[in-house]
Structure 1
Amino acid sequence: MLADYLLTELARPDGPAGPDAGLPLNRRLYEALRRAIWDGRLGPGDRLPSSRELAQDLRLSRNTVVAALQQLGAEGYVVSRVGSGTYVHEQLPLHRGASQQRPRDDGHRLPGLSARGQRLTAEPGAAELEIQPFTPGTADFGAFPVALWQRLQNRHWRAARPEMLDYTTLGGYGPLRRAVADYLRVSRSVRLQPEQVLITTGTQQSLELCARLLADPGDTVWIEDPAYWGAVKAFAACDLRLHPTAVDGEGWVPPAADAPAPRLIYVTPSHQYPSGAVMTLARRHALLQAARATGAWVLEDDYDSEFRFDGAPLASLAGLDEDGRVCYMGTFSKVLYPGIKLGYLVVPLGLVEAFRRAHYDLHRPGQLPLQAALAEFMELGHFAAALRRARQTYAARRAALLQALQPLLACTGVRLSGAAQGLHLCLHLPATVDDRALAATLAREGLSVRPLSAYCLQRRDWRGLLIGYGYAQPKLIEPSARRIAEAVQQALRATPAPGGQR
């Protein structure tokens, strides 16, 4: 029974929902229910017991149960139907049960898929379906003001005019586009008008729009190496040719003079994914100059720009752009929660009308009541407050992780990057270390770090681990980091040095 499973999880001291996890009781119940969904004990469409029944079976207060269910609903795991109950969302990704694992690309074609479909579904080795404490790119949504958010949504649903229930041809809800424009002017020095903002479902949709409207099949995209796999898949879906460009400690490295001329240049300058490098001002100017010289469009994915801990943020590329060649994109998923599925794309003025038409024709955008709630959330200062709280929380976790990993830095060939910004660190290792095997070893112990080599397109000189701290609970950071350090040291001892010497 579900109640028996939940009682076991809540009592297990070493589990994410156990009493030693250092979490409030409602958060522990949320973790236990979320794990039940991912493990397949609760399948898509399954009805959950009522909050009253769960409270009685688990001997918890009803407020505790309601808070856990509200958090699951806010993140998209469950949906509530008035007069019917609460159900597991029917469109969640595949569960992690043994019989439901995603097939790996073992060199055989999957029946029925096109050649492009084969490329898109070949697993790169970087993606994970289950969120674990050290998963890179993952934030902690436990502090999100669910009750306030629900009140805002309910108010806009009650007041929704008929036109708010229709598609939008204007690129999104007007007040939200204005709020995003105001936020970007102040926080990222982007020069823009509200009409340049399109509200999308997130960075992936923004990338798809840019790839479809600004390039033709066979055109070249300069893309960072190592690369964000979401961008790789988006460009592959549009049959674009990838030209990997190296990344170093200063971010994007200008390619050789004989590199093929690009139609698009895709970069993550604020916190390069996955290395964490922050592109220097000199490199930013060099990139804009290259775009001007080649007539290319720059796609600026301002990944993790909200979370900078050392020094003032550098100006965005869009803020430095004098030629109107930068398309700037961001998302609300880190500060709010991923299930909100809202992001923004800022396009040059000359492209606004074309992008609006294409966005409508391809995607039929809507969700105007949700957008209205988010606009008010920003206008009333709640977004800024949530961002301040998140920065404080993540800064403390980052400091704890850096402190715990310090002994590793005395090892030859080991260094850290990406510590100044974002929600993960990149631990660089000697090129002789098998980082995929090392990550697999740690994964078996519940530590979901990722191998740096899995993100590399051409280069073979980078090995390492991506270690996220956004979802890691403070009391787990030190012991978990100590285990990571032990595994790394074991891998270093087992790896032959150059020339065959250990």
Structure 2
Amino acid sequence: MLEITLNLYEDKKDPYYVQLYRHIRQEIKSGRIHAGTRLPAIRRLSEHLDISRNTVEAAYLQLVSEGYVESRPRSGLYVLKLEEDFSFLEKVTNQEPGRQDAEEIVETKPAASPVLRCDFRNGTIDLSSFPFSVWNKISHQIMQEYTNSLSLYGDPQGEPGLRHQLAGYLRQSRGVRCSPDQIIVGAGTQQMLLLLCQLLGTERQPVAVEDPGYNGARSVFSELNFPMVPIPLEEDGIDMEYLMKSEAKLVYVTPSHQFPFGMILPIHKRIKLLQWAAEHDRYIIEDDYDSEFRYQGRPIPALQGLDKSGRVIYMGTFSKSLLSGIRISYMVLPESLISKYKDKKAFLEPTASLIHMQTLERFMEEGWWEKHLRRMKNVYKKKHAFLLSAITRFFGERVKVIGQHSGLHIVIEVNDGRSESELVRKAEEKGVKVYPTSPYWITFDTQLPPRLLLGFGGLSENELEAGIRLLKEAWT
């Protein structure tokens, strides 16, 4: 069976379906995918590439409309034989006319990549501290006790027991006011956003997003044809005056730990935001993606807990606090949207694993979740402090740290005259991966000094030390 693998880039202007369509078209033109080949099923390819089925379907429809593939009833999509041979294009790509014949082209090997010595990738977690023995024991118990029910899909809204545990946890830890009936559990924040957008039914109505902000949310809005209104940030978060002057019908925010810059939305702005939503019949999507990890000061209650008008849609995830691979996220809907969801529920299937949901429910019920969370707070607090100390020791005041005191990443500002791309390249030459923040912008200001994102959750103190030392060598 044909497998299609490619890199999909969120920072490109082209949406995923265009990138996928162009990749397959080029593979067909070059002859690397032969006539008569059956393309992977939509569901299989969406799972393989970790993208939505709608994205794959849109790419396939474009290929059908342009005559590269055809749909055969009850069989699938098959590549058609092209009237023109495009394979010669592969030999002369980027070749200037008259410079050399195709026979004279010498294949050159790419330069060897440096050995990766430290990867400051965001979103990684400390697997060494996870209680695998406890998790596996509970999972095994679930498999034995619920053998018959595991043949079923489960509740599309998420298992009732897990939603009950979540409601209690969110009330105590985040000040979220909700009943289990208001919670929907699913496989990832993007999947939750897809479902939410379908419920809101506001296609092609403007949605305000923080600029810079989480590009995973932007990709969902873009795929569903929601025009985005970029709202600039001030030192204390989203610019409320700019938002109130916009025509946005919906706003997506990260008020407790702005992504990627880490500021916390103060109470006076939170009240203004809630007033804006209540007075203009708007909704606020509050993404509380890593609120568990705050290293200084008191915990910041969720915006949802202040909401008296039912205008806040609260979202959270276990990807940062538990295991990314179990793919469990959730959202809390206001009462006004629950009825809409109930109307659609009969036609929906659960997206999160039944086994994982039931395991997590018991993990929380037996108190393991609280123990694990307390431990991880201490683990990440120590790593966070160590990273800041290493930056100070090696760089002094030559770099500025942005967004400290919470979360699993920091941002550093390097104002030495070099560009963002040059700093990233120099780091890679030393075997260190740091990540640009420019992809998180819609209206990127090239005059701003370069700001780079450093994730630290999955790195040891030795790796953090080595990584910062190598960065100093790379940027000296």
Alignment TM class, shorter chain as reference: 0.7 to 0.9
Displacement of 1:455 = 1.3
| Residue of structure 2 aligned with 1:448, choices 413, 433, 437 | 433
Displacement of 1:164 = 4.6
Does the 8 A contact of 1:209 with 1:355 survive in 2? Answer: no
After superposition, give the CA deviation of every residue in 1:321-341 in whole Å (9 maximum; x if it has no partner): 111111111111112111101
CA distance in 2, matches of 1:161, 1:476: 43
CA distance in 2, matches of 1:450, 1:282: 33
Does the 8 A contact of 1:166 with 1:366 survive in 2? Answer: no
Displacement of 1:195 = 0.8
| Residue of structure 1 aligned with 2:419, choices 430, 434, 449 | 434
Does the 8 A contact of 1:416 with 1:427 survive in 2? Answer: yes
After superposition, give the CA deviation of every residue in 1:417-458 in whole Å (9 maximum; x if it has no partner): 211110111112349541122123213433221112221111
| Residue of structure 1 aligned with 2:471, choices 481, 484, 489 | 484
Change (3 A) 1:423 1:162: same
CA distance in 2, matches of 1:111, 1:305: 34
Change (3 A) 1:477 1:163: closer
SS class of match (2:430): coil
Answer yes or no: is 1:473 the counterpart of 2:460.
Answer: yes
CA distance in 1, matches of 2:416, 2:308: 40
Displacement of 1:293 = 2.8
Answer yes or no: is 1:313 the counterpart of 2:299.
Answer: yes
Change (3 A) 1:360 1:415: farther
Map 1:349-364 to 2 at 5 A: 349-358=335-344, 361-364=347-350
Q: Which runs of 5+ in 1 are unaligned?
A: 1-44, 46-89, 95-99, 122-129, 491-502
Which structure is larger by alpha-carbon Rg, 1 or 2?
2
Does the 8 A contact of 1:327 with 1:346 survive in 2? Answer: yes
Answer yes or no: is 1:283 the counterpart of 2:254.
Answer: no
CA distance in 2, matches of 1:444, 1:487: 8
Answer yes or no: is 1:191 the counterpart of 2:177.
Answer: yes
Q: Which residue of 2 aligns with 1:28?
A: none
- Give the total of aligned pairs: 383
TM value normalised by structure 1: 0.70
Change (3 A) 1:426 1:152: same
Change (3 A) 1:366 1:481: closer
Answer yes or no: is 1:464 the counterpart of 2:440.
Answer: no
Does the 8 A contact of 1:278 with 1:418 survive in 2? Answer: no
Matching residue's letter, 1:232: R
Change (3 A) 1:387 1:143: same
Aligned Cα root-mean-square deviation (Å): 3.1
SS class of match (2:314): strand
Displacement of 1:232 = 0.8
Change (3 A) 1:270 1:170: same
SS class of match (2:129): coil
Q: Which residue of 1 aligns with 2:85?
A: none
Matching residue's letter, 1:472: L
Change (3 A) 1:427 1:313: same
Does the 8 A contact of 2:120 with 2:435 survive in 1? Answer: no
Displacement of 1:468 = 1.1
| Residue of structure 2 aligned with 1:423, choices 385, 405, 408 | 408
CA distance in 2, matches of 1:432, 1:321: 45
Q: Which residue of 1 aligns with 2:50?
A: none
Change (3 A) 1:476 1:240: same
Change (3 A) 1:439 1:166: same
Change (3 A) 1:180 1:452: same
Map 1:242-321 to 2 at 5 A: 242-256=228-242, 259-321=245-307
Matching residue's letter, 1:379: E
CA distance in 2, matches of 1:376, 1:355: 26
Change (3 A) 1:378 1:262: same
CA distance in 2, matches of 1:431, 1:291: 42
After superposition, give the CA deviation of every residue in 1:160-219 in whole Å (9 maximum; x if it has no partner): 164453233461111100111111001000111111111111211111112222142211
Matching residue's letter, 1:134: F
Change (3 A) 1:358 1:133: farther
CA distance in 2, matches of 1:101, 1:238: 21
Q: Which residue of 1 aligns with 2:46?
A: none
SS class of match (2:164): helix
Matching residue's letter, 2:292: E
CA distance in 2, matches of 1:309, 1:111: 41
Q: Which residue of 2 aligns with 1:399?
A: 385
Q: Which residue of 2 aligns with 1:6?
A: none
Change (3 A) 1:470 1:163: same
Q: Which residue of 1 aligns with 2:165?
A: 179
Displacement of 1:113 = 6.1
Between 200-209 and 352-361, the greater mean CA deviation after superposition: 352-361
CA distance in 1, matches of 2:311, 2:375: 34
Change (3 A) 1:359 1:394: farther
CA distance in 1, matches of 2:359, 2:225: 37
Matching residue's letter, 2:468: A
CA distance in 1, matches of 2:20, 2:301: 48
CA distance in 2, matches of 1:475, 1:231: 34
CA distance in 1, matches of 2:193, 2:366: 30
Change (3 A) 1:352 1:117: closer
SS class of match (1:335): coil
Change (3 A) 1:147 1:216: same
Does the 8 A contact of 1:297 with 1:326 survive in 2? Answer: yes
Q: Which runs of 5+ in 2 are unaligned?
A: 24-53, 60-115
After superposition, give the CA deviation of every residue in 1:290-319 in whole Å (9 maximum; x if it has no partner): 212322111110021010000111111111
Does the 8 A contact of 1:131 with 1:138 survive in 2? Answer: no
After superposition, give the CA deviation of every residue in 1:124-144 in whole Å (9 maximum; x if it has no partner): xxxxxx996411222122221
SS class of match (2:127): coil
Change (3 A) 1:433 1:245: farther
Matching residue's letter, 1:453: S
CA distance in 1, matches of 2:13, 2:183: 42
CA distance in 2, matches of 1:343, 1:107: 27
Q: Which residue of 2 aligns with 1:42?
A: none
CA distance in 2, matches of 1:219, 1:361: 25
After superposition, give the CA deviation of every residue in 1:386-427 in whole Å (9 maximum; x if it has no partner): 11111111111111111111254523xx42221111011111
Map 1:70-89 to 2 at 5 A: none
Q: Which residue of 1 aligns with 2:214?
A: 228
Matching residue's letter, 2:443: Q
SS class of match (1:361): coil
CA distance in 2, matches of 1:141, 1:131: 19
Displacement of 1:486 = 4.2
Change (3 A) 1:366 1:390: closer
Matching residue's letter, 1:160: Y
